[in-house]
Amino acid sequence: MIVFDLACRNAGHVFEIWFGSSSDYEDQKARGLVSCPYCGSTDVDKAVMAPNVAAKGNSRNDTPAASLPAAANIPPPEAFKAMIGKLAEVQAKMLEGSDYVGGDFADEARSMHLGEQESRPIHGQTSPEEARALIEEGVPVAPLLLPVRSPKSEN
């Protein structure tokens, strides 16, 4: 897993997002799947990030923990990784029994909504614009919080 700070060029929002790899980020960005969680804009780019550089071995930090700013209460990376792992487990449990329909998601969801085929749990991929259109049409859809690999890509 890799984390990037991203910035929305539309409204200046800055947010953090996790990907399986740098190439996963590039692929999802190219397909228009990376969007600002605040305004939904897909016009986002990597933001400048401060490097995580270790302090010199002979330096001391004499600042008492109680006087650190509130941001210092952010969970350590190990705890955050564990939280993401739990979220992945919950999402996997939710997808049990759901059919992966890939890029046909919008057509399949719309067809079930219109009664053209029997309803069943599905998941797949669609563009942000198509997802908005489905929502405007009253089709009950929701985004997955974590990316899902196609069953065809699994070994």
Residue 154 lies in a domain: no
Residue 63 lies in a domain: no
Mean pLDDT of 85-110: 92
Q: Are residues 82 and 143 in the same domain?
A: yes
Question: Of 154 and 85, which is predicted with more confidence?
Answer: 85
Say how far apart CA 75 and CA 84 lie, in whole Å: 12
Structure token pair of residue 13: 């929002």
Question: What integer best gives the mean pLDDT of the chain?
Answer: 82
Q: Which residues contact 28 (CB under 8 A, 6 or more apart)?
A: 19, 34, 147
Residue 9 lies in a domain: yes
Residue 123 CB neighbour total at 10 angstroms: 19
Residue 119 lies in a domain: yes
Report the CATH number that the domain containing residue 23 is assigned in CATH: 2.20.28
Could you tell me the residue range of the domain that residue 27 belongs to? 1-48
Q: What is the DSSP letter of 12?
A: -
Q: Are residues 44 and 83 in the same domain?
A: no
Q: Are residues 44 and 100 in the same domain?
A: no
Residue 47 CB neighbour total at 10 angstroms: 14
Structure token pair of residue 48: 């400048």
Q: For residue range 26-67, what is the model confidence (pLDDT) as tens digits? A: 888 888 888 888 888 888 888 776 555 555 665 555 555 554
Phi first, then psi: what are they for 30, rounded to 5°? Answer: -60, -30
Q: Are residues 143 and 82 in the same domain?
A: yes
Residue 59 lies in a domain: no
How many structural domains are present in the chain? 2
